[in-house]
Amino acid sequence: MGLIPDGLRRWSTSNGVGLGETYLMGANRVADVLLALQRLGVRTVTVYNLSRANLARRDEELEAVYAASVQFFTTLIPARFDPAVCAVRLHGDRALLPENYLTAALDAENAFNGQDFTINMLAAYDARDELRNAFVKAKSLGCDVNDAFDIGEVDLVIRTSPEPLLSGFLPMQCQYAQLRFLATPLIDLQDQQLDELVADYRRTPQLHGK
């Protein structure tokens, strides 16, 4: 599955809550969503934390995102997930991320190496970078480029805003993904909605162009 946790800036403005607190609330809710999806038997979830284009945002906002992300890696994930069951993986241009973010993410990667549930975090991510890296890896391994992507095909993408955009989220892996754009903001997303979305996907025949 893919999760695009969008709309936090709008929620902050409409509810009169500061960006720092809003992003921390969003990080908590992402952790809860991941726990709910694990309970539903989902094996892999890729979370769109930051695109490379997002790095052009105001320093105030980026600092709030980074602080919430550090909390996510250092506190929220360890509190909710078993490192013997769960794996955490960071994808994106690590050279563009601040040191405190990168340290927290690498510590989580090293601590969480389970095989039953994988959390992929996209940060400073750009699909063109991913394609170039896959091409280099394919040449090195002597395999097809489609087998060189670090993240596999995505079946269902949930974006917590009604705009029907993927915003560069894993375009190669989402060719046949079911896309759901929600009017419900991330912070207000309930587990029951997730139950219904996953159940609806499982009821729908996945033809993949056949």
**CA of 170: how far to CAs of 25, 46, 57, 112, in Å?**
25, 9, 21, 23
SS3 185: coil
Contact 203, 180 (CB under 8 A): no
Per-residue pLDDT tens for 160-191? 999 999 999 999 999 999 999 999 999 999 99
Cα separation, 51 vs 40, in Å, equals 28
204 pLDDT band, cuts 50/70/90, is confident
Contact 193, 38 (CB under 8 A): no
Per-residue pLDDT tens for 70-79? 999 999 999 9
Tally helices (H) and strands (E) across the chain.
Answer: 7, 6
Torsion of CA 99, 104, 107, 111, to 10 degrees: -170
What is the side-by-side order of every strand in the sheet holding 117-122? 86-91, 117-122, 44-48, 2-4, 156-159, 178-181
Q: What is the mean predicted confidence (pLDDT) over 47-67?
A: 96
Which string of b and e fits 56-72 if b means at least 16 CB within 10 Å?
A: eeeeebbebbbbbbbbb
201 Cβ partners below 8 Å, 6+ apart? 155, 156, 178
187 DSSP 8-state letter: G
Task: List the single range of 1-5, 59-63, 183-187, 202-206 with lowest mean pLDDT.
Answer: 202-206
Per-residue pLDDT tens for 119-147? 999 999 999 999 999 999 999 999 999 99
- Can you name the CATH fold of 2-200? Undecaprenyl pyrophosphate synthetase (3.40.1180)
